[in-house]
Amino acid sequence: DGGITQSPKYLFRKEGQNVTLSCEQNLNHDAMYWYRQDPGQGLRLIYYSQIVNDFQKGDIAEGYSVSREKKESFPLTVTSAQKNPTAFYLCASSIGGPGDNEQFFGPGTRLTVL
């Protein structure tokens, strides 16, 4: 089955620690995205990548970093510089380029800072 996987589903972090969230897709999509979702709020874009070895900051990139070394993988690192990292994190992908830009979402990772 084609889709997007995120791991782990739940993640706990102590203050001051960096943590990396995994996102893998086997849809052969060029574009990938990371969103943050806080309770009762919509989605806010953290980073996106349109192609391998390239990525751009979204609306709330401070305290986060990403890499895109492989087409199918787009890991997100939440650094100690992120002041309020407790949230639900969603990864998505799309075909990329002009045309139908439907995004396909993973199941999410819930990060809690202890």
Partner 1 sequence: AQSVTQLDSQVPVFEEAPVELRCNYSSSVSVYLFWYVQYPNQGLQLLLKYLSGSTLVKGINGFEAEFNKSQTSFHLRKPSVHISDTAEYFCAVSDWSRAGNMLTFGGGTRLMVKP
Residues that bind partner 1 (CB under 8 A): 4, 6, 31, 40-43, 45, 48, 50, 56, 88, 90, 92, 94-98, 100-108, 110
- Minimum gap (Å) between residue 87 Cβ and partner 1: 13
Dihedral sign, Cα of residue 19, residue 23, residue 29, residue 34: negative
**42-51: string of b/e by CB count within 10 Å (b at 16+)?**
ebebbbbbee
Residue carrying the six token digits 């895109």: 68
- Minimum gap (Å) between residue 80 Cβ and partner 1: 26
Closest CB to partner 1 among 18 and 41? Answer: 41
- Minimum gap (Å) between residue 16 Cβ and partner 1: 27
CA dist., res. 17 & res. 13, Å (int): 7
Closest CB to partner 1 among 2 and 98? Answer: 98
